[in-house]
Amino acid sequence: MIPDIKILDEKDKLLHKVSKEVTFPLPEEDKKLIKDALEYLKLSQIEEVSEKYGLRPGMGLAFPQLGKLKRIFVICNELDKGKFENYVIINPKIISHSEEMIYVEEGEGCLSVNREVEGIVPRYARAKIEAYDEEGNLFTYRVREDLAIAFQHEIDHLNGILFVDKIDKKNPYKDANHYRAI
């Protein structure tokens, strides 16, 4: 059963607002939304399910995309076919990052942006992020490559920024030769 969540479209002004820090303990409705968002992301990445229900595959969802201005995002990363790793990230802060910059060669995507977008979004190749889990425990995550891009993309959502806002409108592939494509 596909969780009943509503993902806001890029035209929604809420997506351009900065989210508020979260306090603990988390309300039950937030815990349910975390669970539902992770389940939705997992199912969206399983080809037979995404085709049957018309889901766009996605790796991450931030609470602002679900209509809540809270500094929470989830990532469901497929490690192998049918094997997933979940991340619940609350009140994240990037505490350090690489100098090396990368970008997604085929272009970044977003479940709130229902169109093809040309251009590159430079991201740090590696980042160290401090965040809390659902229970309020502080963790440090070291992320790289695809996962680093996903974390930065979702943190942008918490700050009211969509990936399309970061693409140079006049020159979408500006400085591409300065970054590594992945």
Given the residues 48, 51, 99, 154, select the one marked as catalytic.
Answer: 154
pTM: 0.96
Q: Which pLDDT score is estimated for 82?
A: 84
Which neighbouring-strand residues pair with 97?
127
DSSP state for residue 65 in the 8-state scheme: G
Total count of residues recorded for the chain: 182
- In sequence order, what E strands does 45-179 have? 60-62, 72-80, 83-97, 101-103, 123-124, 126-132, 138-144
pLDDT over 90 (residue 27) = yes
Give the distance from CA 62 to its chain's centroid. 6
Q: Which pLDDT score is estimated for 94?
A: 98
Please tell me whether residue 74 adopts helix, strand or coil conformation.
strand
Does 154 participate in catalysis according to the annotation? yes
* CATH code assigned to 13-181: 3.90.45.10
pLDDT over 90 (residue 43) = yes
Q: What is the mean pLDDT of residues 91-95?
A: 98
Q: Where does 26-181 have alpha helices with state H? A: 28-45, 47-53, 145-158
Which neighbouring-strand residues pair with 84?
78
Helix and strand numbers, DSSP H then E, in the chain:
3, 8
Whether residue 154 contacts residue 141, with contact meaning beta carbons closer than 8 Å, is answered with no
pLDDT digits (tens, 9 = 90+) for 147-161: 999 999 999 999 999
